[in-house]
Structure 1
Amino acid sequence: MLPPHRSLELTGRDAERDALDQLVAAVCSGESRALVLSGEAGVGKTALMDHLAAQAHRGQVVRVSGVQSEMELAFAALHQVCAPALGLLDRVPAPQAEALRTVFGISAGPPPDMFLIGLGVLSLLAEAAVDQPLLCLVDDQQWLDRCSAQILSFVARRLGAESLGLVFATREVGPILQGLPEYQIGGLRDADARSLLDAVLTVPIDAQVRNQLVAEAHGNPLALLELPRGLTPAQLAGGFGLPGASGIEESFVQRVTAMPAETRRLLLLAAAEPSGDDALVRRAAVRLGIDPQAAAPATDAGLAEFANRIRFRHPLVRSAAYCSASAAEQREVHQALAAETDAEADPDRRAWHRAQGAAGPDEEIAEELERSAGRAQARSGFAATAAFLQRSAALTIDPVKRAGRALAAAQAELQTGAFDSAAELLAMAEGEQLSELQRARADLVHAQLAFLTNRGNDAPQLMLKAARRLEKVDVVLARTTYLDALSAAIFAGHLATPDGDVLAVAQEAAAAPQPAVTRSVDLLLEGSALYYRDGYAASAPTLHKALAGFGPGLSVEEELQLLWMAATTALRLWDADRWAELSRRHVQLVRQTGVLSDVALALTSLAYVSVFAGDLEAAASLTDEAEAANEVTGGKLAPYGRLALAAFRGDRSETLALAEATKRDGSRRGEGIGVAFADWASAVLANGLGRYQDALDAAQRSAEDRSIILVHSELVEAAVRTGAIDTAHRAAQTLQEMATATGTDWALGVSARCRAMVTAGETAEGLYREAITHLEKTALKVELARAQLLYGEWLRRERRRTDAREYLRTAHSGFEAMGLAGFADRARRELQAAGGTARKRVVPTRTELTAQEAQIARMARDGLSNPEIATRLFISARTVQYHLRKVFSKLEIASRSQLDQVLPR
């Protein structure tokens, strides 16, 4: 019977059981819950998971456990979670279902989007919970393969109202689980520990022995159950020969090594095959000549159970069975398992066993692992790709091939956001005799690693070094790398090292060898270098031409390399439509390819598009997602999205706190653009609140960075209001030069608005009207409302109070609807001064919608179905329906068709 004493292991766990019972009750009542149980090995997490499973008698339970030796097999644990529900795939939205079919090898297809996989799993589990609540229990989360861990963490964060519970048990809460509700499982109190110990002993025990055992166990239930097993009755009674503080692991090692030789070999074989496939293990046992009866002693001792699925007493038993064997014995069982694993049905597991069974370098196995890496990458399993390539490199004889595979593994780890692992693999590659091309690629990975982890001032020089070396072997890649160096220099800003500032990089980039065929990347490089070296007017034609080349002709890899710089260029050209288009494409691609290292940057760019469009709720949602991605990948991107939101909302305390923290952190890491953006956000805030001297000071600091083109309009507004007329004229002239060069409605509108502020009379009025006309042609509602506000303020000062009230009221209504409280208050004060009245928008608390409810309501009003809304918001369709019911109740309506009557467009 396995495992023994299970009920005893819950001694002293009343509080924990109550918490878990509440979770089960919530799930059974239609809610969803996520929980992380954390604590050291043997503290009782698995016993509590058993309790959870027993309590869920009204629903379904799916249990999986991470296995240390299976961590490299992409989506292995996820497949176990989803396998019972795969028959429901037809009820999942088609793109999500297709992603899951590809991931699980049911059908072939392009590498699916990691976010789409996550949403597909959420939808599938939600469908499985329609008839009965579903409880998913994930034990030993720390040993899940990274792809499964990322997806299940995503699902846990998107739970809503699916009657679904997702509980993780883990030793330590790593970055992937951080932020989820956590319950730390500590050791038992001494009284409970003594009770548990007394309950399992069948012979008398000396008080001193009991006290020492309790002290040694530190309240760990498994230790209390296992440590006495090594003592004879005489030792327990008299206190002689007490074990040292060897811990639970050593206790299990002793119990395993005490087994008969054949039983030890069978335990080792079972430990080496993480799937628990009893048939496979028995076939391998026959190959090794192990007697089928060898399982009996292990079963009788309560170490393992051999049935349809092999189950160990505890993961530490598996570890003890494997680690207590010699390296030769471990290789022998892996070779047997490889021989008995179907090469057609499970080629990757076979390759992995062959690799573990190799006594030394073996090119045939290395090539097989490389093929497995390709299959993993096709399923978006970049973590598995890196693991297969790393092992492939270790088995490679040829040093050039070995370095190439290690470099490829490092690149794959970069794409998953596993930066520490990428650095280790890079060091492995650099330990070989690298070819010139490999040395250049290693320099490039170094530079990318520095940029992705720190965005700091050392990245531009590292990328320049890589670009110079690449010039000799690959001109095309060299030019792409020069563009990356320019991007890194933009981030470093005024904090760049002397040889890595943006002007120095631009000069080197301009002198790079010309390609045989000019591509979009070449035009983007040439135009960007011209901007920083020769000025705006010189660069605009080339940059417009570069952006025109973005489209179907580019590969996904090229787009991923270029889209951030392209979107930034569109912003620099004041091309609002192209900025939005490229930002959306960037988000789409990073989700589609699962390249998590770029997610935060892409989402932040799209969040800024939403801010200027006046959709602060969408911007907040994107910012939340960007910050979560930043946290999971370990990236250090400054809180650009949060800064813009706080500034435009007029939240002074949050903006200034964020700005101070960003400037402090950016200065420490060398991310100068973060410092400049913090000052720009402070200027926006201060202009909205009418604190014009504060706005002027911040805008002047920000304007020192040539990449922050948006700050010039803030500078004009603040300078005019504080009497710094020369400063205002210079900034307005800069904007006019930009508008003349680029010719977009955004640039022409902002330029006209700012020139109106530094002129007078009919000229000023004509410019204000021109600004409004141009900005009305864009989706930039914030810029339009600001033009209306400034024109209304000018009209009031011209004593045309009736005309002023019209524009001020329009501006006030716009700011209120968008949630720009600072600017709305400023417009209200001006309207009152013009003799008008404006009531602050007040929504009764009875009908107050949450941000998510408002998003869902707007999408439903606009005709999207529940599955379509769910896909856009990364939640389940059942959660959408749950929120819509609350929306209908709060708004006192009965159907979706009535939303158009109660929600403003």
Structure 2
Amino acid sequence: MDQRTRAAGHGENTRLLGRASECALLDQMIAAVRTGESRVLVLHGPPGIGKSALLAHAERAAAGVQVLRAGGVESEMELAFAALHQLCAPLLGRLGNLPEPQREALETVFGMRAGPAPERFLVALAVLGLLSEASEESPLLCVVDDAQWMDRASAQILGFVARRLLAESVALLFGSRRRPQDLIGLPELEIAGLGDADARALLDSVTHARLDRHISERLVAETQGNPLALLELPRGLSVTQMAGGLGLLRGDALPGRIEQSFLARIEALPEQTRLLLLVAAAEPTGHPDLVWRAAERLGIVPATALAAGTDGLLSFDARVIFHHPLVRSAVYGAARQRDRRAVHLALAEVTDAQADPDRRAWHLASATTVPDEAVAAELERSADRAQARGGLAAAAAFLQRSLALSVDTARRAERALSAADASLRAGDLDAARKLADIADGNARSEFQRVRAHLVRSHITFAAGFNNEAPPMLLEAAQRLEPFDMDLARETYLIAWGGASYGAANRESLVAISRAIGNLPPREGSPSVLDLVLESYALLISEGRTTALPTLRKAVSALTDAPLQDLLKWSWAANGLVALIWEDRIMTRTPARVLEVVRAAGALADLPVYLHALGIPTSLSGEFGAAAAIVAESEAVAAATGVPMTQHTKLLLTALQGREAEASALIAATIEEAGAGGQLAGVASAQWATAILYNGLADYERALSAAQATTLSANALVSQWALSELVEAAARAGNDAAAHGALEDLAVTAEPCDTDWAQGILSRCRALLSDDAAAAGLYREAIERLSRTVLRPELARAHLLYGEWLRRDRQRTEARTHLRTAYEMFTSIGMEAFAERARRELLATGEAVRKRRNEAATNEGLTPQERQIALLVRDGLSNPEVAARLFLSPRTVEWHLRQVFTKLGIGSRKQLPDALPRSESDSTTG
């Protein structure tokens, strides 16, 4: 009997006792899915609380809806994508309808084809597409029970999919004892015990004697209304025991008491039946053939084992199913170790080594208690296969077990290193650190010890940009030089990038640059990496002028560098182009890498390259495209749960001049980045502050922020802040600060004979020049900057020149430049600077009305709607937009309908007119 009672007047229809509100919510989910919406819900609560019964109710309510089922199994937590394959198996015939990269990704992780490990987010997009495609034919209900035991790869994929569902006619329903890490943040419902009245009614339904009221109340209170406890605990007790409450009120924990109830039933079964239950408990797939073949090897005779039945604990059908997961754990936990080993060995022997080698290896490992090199090697091969499918957590688990069974001491260190690396890439930093220590302790060579140190360095770096990582990486690079010079060079660059972007520690940058300078020259032509390293080292040790020729060579080489190299370390080279003031090629390398990262579905890497593209896009005044980049970053953060970098959003809101929004974001960034030692983040926030308050004409605050920024060791941010410092100091009357900043700016810009460098330098010199020289310098700045893509800088040159002309009483010419500045600021969307220009125009005597910002004419659109609209305007199809934004095509179509309504248009053909493209406003990369 389960937690159901007949509903009066409804024949065979049943209702769950005391679960009216929960059932109503599930019914609403199913109804919404039938109307084309998506729903997600995580039911969580302790064992026996009724989660499985509620999932079963949802399935019964889903008439006309295709139901897909999967269940987490504790012993399968190490097998990558096991739960996902179970859920998607009925849909695999539809794989041919997916875009080729997505189809190949799923085929690879499900072992249907060989190939390089796909990015897990490409796999997630493929699953989203598969569910969306299937829901075109019929709404889907995907039910995952015991989600706490899902393998990590499946949990990550399903968590991603759940966050991206919107208009796919798909419901994802999870049942879990606790909230799995990868499902946190999804809609959830905690399932509590039954109310007292319902609990008593359920208890009365399974007791044959009338219980004393006090005993009944105490039992209901102690079980906290847990339905399974109320159903199971009275089993096997006599009428006398029931009536007096004897045997019911043991003091151990409730799940243990429920298991004890199951164990009492198990112990009453014949020995062969108990052994059959153990085989079923150890075989996670529920495949009857495997269970019976393993049973046969153990001498179990089916007729004998099932002669007296299984007391309802186990049933054989298309699958072998336990009455409740606690039965499985009770059977397995109570078994003798020698029986468990015998069962796992039998299962390993009947598991196909070709079709299912990983499960076979895991059974062999579970059957082994002493080191066994053959089994360790099998587990190592399983780890290789898991990594090839992208199952990093599974690979780490296989390698850890392989390490425990290793006989060959030489292999122990290598396996520990491999396990540490896999654990690091899977995000398990604590396990990676312990395994690196084991590798160090077992190392047979200095190279192994160095690699263990390198893993520790990467662990520290992965924990967040901080002061500890760069020196550790520097030491690792130095120790690697005798063994692997290419790896040493890559490590030097990561160390340099960490010192610059993270703690921005000048001492670390100097030490790293000195070590790079001492590297022996490579035989033959230098590689791209060599040029990047040399240019960074020279920049710190010798200064901009000396470094400039090498910087230019490195920038030129980056343009055609192999993508596999760029994917590994180009994040640390992103600033090279700006360091030589080359505005027209700033977006080239990040856009190139971004295309590959997007196509691969590498969401973990995507924010880095979005930031690298977002900064120059913002500086160019393409605020629509920059906002789309911010929206994409936020979509990635929402999908992955990983906080996004705020640099582009900081710069964009500061340039827009939205004080309330920008100042709140600046304060939050300074607090968060400062607490984490990420001084580059603090510097970016201070640079944004200087821009914001120069636009608002609050020059004292702009001056303070700019001075703080230029103290940063981050060469790029401090370089960009110098012009803000010159303007703020000049307007605030701090001549000493203004001239000092101009001298520093000349050191960085003067050697670079580009229109950007010379235009900014001329504009800043004009601010501090006498009347005879200022006009010529302003005109030179305007001429130079007009040849760049940096429209905001050109508009600011017109503004400063117009302000100077007005103060020099040349009102007519002043109006010309101020009007140009005002129109440019307005069209770009720089509200604060536009208002500053408008006030100056009014001071010349020209009447000017506030114009609506052209960039804001579509502000009725949400950031995601605008991003989708721009991509479609630029010619992408719905599937291409879906792949770009990690959505389903149906969700893209749903958003487009909202866009058409808000813009008052009827088709995608009208988008170019509704969203006119500026000179370089494009989101297609």
The answer to whether the 8 A contact 1:249-1:316 is kept is no
Question: Structure 2 residue aligned with 1:200, among 203, 206, 216?
Answer: 206
Equivalence map 1:110-509=2 (5 Å): 110-229=116-235, 231-241=237-247, 242-253=249-260, 254=263, 255-293=265-303, 296=306, 300-493=310-503, 496=505, 501-509=508-516
SS at match of 1:754: helix
SS at match of 1:454: coil
> How far 1:56 moved relative to its partner?
1.7
> How far 1:587 moved relative to its partner?
4.2
Question: Structure 2 residue aligned with 1:899, among 896, 902, 911?
Answer: 911
Amino acid at match of 2:36: G
Worse-matched range after superposition: 739-748 or 31-40: 739-748
1:525 corresponding residue in structure 2 = 533
Equivalence map 1:1-16=2 (5 Å): 10-16=16-22
Q: For 2:173 and 2:819, how far apart are their aligned partners in 1?
A: 52
SS at match of 1:549: helix
Q: For 2:877 and 2:550, how far apart are their aligned partners in 1?
A: 43
Q: For 1:229 and 1:816, how far apart are their aligned partners in 2?
A: 78
> How far 1:817 moved relative to its partner?
5.0
Worse-matched range after superposition: 566-575 or 853-862: 566-575
The answer to whether the 8 A contact 2:829-2:855 is kept is no
1:25 corresponding residue in structure 2 = 31
> How far 1:237 moved relative to its partner?
0.5
Q: For 2:450 and 2:398, how far apart are their aligned partners in 1?
A: 23
Q: For 2:830 and 2:674, how far apart are their aligned partners in 1?
A: 29
> How far 1:250 moved relative to its partner?
4.3
> How far 1:281 moved relative to its partner?
1.6
2:10 corresponding residue in structure 1 = none
> How far 1:774 moved relative to its partner?
4.6
Q: For 1:591 and 1:899, how far apart are their aligned partners in 2?
A: 24
C-alpha distance after superposition, 1:874-893 (max 9, x if no partner): 11111111222222223232
> How far 1:411 moved relative to its partner?
1.4
Larger radius of gyration: 2
Instruction: Note closer, same or farther for the CA distance 1:792–1:29 as it changes in structure 2 (3 Å cut).
Output: farther
Instruction: Note closer, same or farther for the CA distance 1:90–1:722 as it changes in structure 2 (3 Å cut).
Output: same
Instruction: Note closer, same or farther for the CA distance 1:856–1:553 as it changes in structure 2 (3 Å cut).
Output: closer
SS at match of 1:183: strand
Instruction: Note closer, same or farther for the CA distance 1:506–1:163 as it changes in structure 2 (3 Å cut).
Output: same
2:887 corresponding residue in structure 1 = 875
Q: For 1:685 and 1:291, how far apart are their aligned partners in 2?
A: 81
> How far 1:72 moved relative to its partner?
1.8
Amino acid at match of 2:140: L
2:923 corresponding residue in structure 1 = none
Amino acid at match of 1:509: I
Q: For 1:670 and 1:322, how far apart are their aligned partners in 2?
A: 48
Question: Structure 2 residue aligned with 1:621, among 602, 620, 631?
Answer: 631
Q: For 1:182 and 1:786, how far apart are their aligned partners in 2?
A: 51
Worse-matched range after superposition: 128-137 or 472-481: 472-481
Question: Structure 2 residue aligned with 1:838, among 843, 850, 853?
Answer: 850
1:601 corresponding residue in structure 2 = 608
SS at match of 2:105: helix
Worse-matched range after superposition: 339-348 or 584-593: 584-593
Question: Structure 2 residue aligned with 1:704, among 707, 711, 722?
Answer: 711
Q: For 1:843 and 1:599, how far apart are their aligned partners in 2?
A: 26
Instruction: Note closer, same or farther for the CA distance 1:59–1:393 as it changes in structure 2 (3 Å cut).
Output: same
Q: For 2:119 and 2:429, how far apart are their aligned partners in 1?
A: 21
Normalising by structure 1, we get a TM-score of 0.92
2:864 corresponding residue in structure 1 = 852
Instruction: Note closer, same or farther for the CA distance 1:32–1:842 as it changes in structure 2 (3 Å cut).
Output: farther
Aligned residues: 898
The answer to whether the 8 A contact 2:160-2:639 is kept is no
1:887 corresponding residue in structure 2 = 899
Instruction: Note closer, same or farther for the CA distance 1:103–1:196 as it changes in structure 2 (3 Å cut).
Output: same
Q: For 2:658 and 2:307, how far apart are their aligned partners in 1?
A: 69
Worse-matched range after superposition: 261-270 or 441-450: 261-270
SS at match of 2:42: strand
Normalising by structure 2, we get a TM-score of 0.90
Instruction: Note closer, same or farther for the CA distance 1:414–1:433 as it changes in structure 2 (3 Å cut).
Output: closer
The answer to whether the 8 A contact 2:815-2:841 is kept is yes
- Extract unaligned runs of 5+ from structure 2: 7-12, 918-925
Matched, 1:863 2:869: no
The answer to whether the 8 A contact 1:604-1:622 is kept is no
Question: Structure 1 residue aligned with 2:733, among 723, 726, 731?
Answer: 723
The answer to whether the 8 A contact 1:699-1:715 is kept is yes
Q: For 1:519 and 1:790, how far apart are their aligned partners in 2?
A: 44
Q: For 1:298 and 1:717, how far apart are their aligned partners in 2?
A: 91
Equivalence map 1:488-887=2 (5 Å): 488-493=498-503, 496=505, 501-516=508-523, 518-550=526-558, 554=562, 556=564, 558-576=565-583, 578-588=585-595, 598-612=605-619, 613-614=622-623, 615-625=625-635, 627-628=637-638, 631-632=641-642, 639-707=646-714, 708=717, 709-759=719-769, 761=771, 763-801=773-811, 803-805=813-815, 807-816=817-826, 818-834=828-844, 835=846, 836-841=848-853, 848-887=860-899
Q: For 2:784 and 2:313, how far apart are their aligned partners in 1?
A: 77
> How far 1:772 moved relative to its partner?
4.5
> How far 1:126 moved relative to its partner?
0.6
C-alpha distance after superposition, 1:546-598 (max 9, x if no partner): 33333666472x43331111113334333445542333345455566676664
Q: For 1:464 and 1:59, how far apart are their aligned partners in 2?
A: 58
> How far 1:600 moved relative to its partner?
4.2
> How far 1:298 moved relative to its partner?
9.3
Worse-matched range after superposition: 385-394 or 286-295: 286-295
Instruction: Note closer, same or farther for the CA distance 1:9–1:372 as it changes in structure 2 (3 Å cut).
Output: farther
> How far 1:5 moved relative to its partner?
7.8
SS at match of 2:106: helix
C-alpha distance after superposition, 1:493-548 (max 9, x if no partner): 46x4x9x6322332233234544464322322222122122212222222332333
Q: For 1:323 and 1:829, how far apart are their aligned partners in 2?
A: 79
The answer to whether the 8 A contact 1:607-1:620 is kept is yes
Q: For 2:797 and 2:321, how far apart are their aligned partners in 1?
A: 70
> How far 1:703 moved relative to its partner?
0.6
Instruction: Note closer, same or farther for the CA distance 1:786–1:296 as it changes in structure 2 (3 Å cut).
Output: farther
C-alpha distance after superposition, 1:203-247 (max 9, x if no partner): 322323322322222232222222222533321101223323242
Amino acid at match of 1:739: A
Q: For 2:503 and 2:277, how far apart are their aligned partners in 1?
A: 59
The answer to whether the 8 A contact 1:413-1:422 is kept is yes
> How far 1:761 moved relative to its partner?
5.0
Amino acid at match of 1:145: D
Instruction: Note closer, same or farther for the CA distance 1:368–1:256 as it changes in structure 2 (3 Å cut).
Output: same
Q: For 1:592 and 1:859, how far apart are their aligned partners in 2?
A: 15
Q: For 1:89 and 1:470, how far apart are their aligned partners in 2?
A: 45
Amino acid at match of 1:530: L
SS at match of 1:72: coil
> How far 1:722 moved relative to its partner?
0.8
SS at match of 2:168: coil
Matched, 1:93 2:99: yes
Instruction: Note closer, same or farther for the CA distance 1:896–1:347 as it changes in structure 2 (3 Å cut).
Output: same
The answer to whether the 8 A contact 2:563-2:593 is kept is no
SS at match of 2:500: helix
The answer to whether the 8 A contact 1:410-1:426 is kept is yes
Identity %: 49
Amino acid at match of 2:533: L
Aligned CA-pair RMSD: 3.1
- Extract unaligned runs of 5+ from structure 1: none
SS at match of 2:144: strand
C-alpha distance after superposition, 1:785-804 (max 9, x if no partner): 44444444444445555555
Q: For 2:75 and 2:584, how far apart are their aligned partners in 1?
A: 50
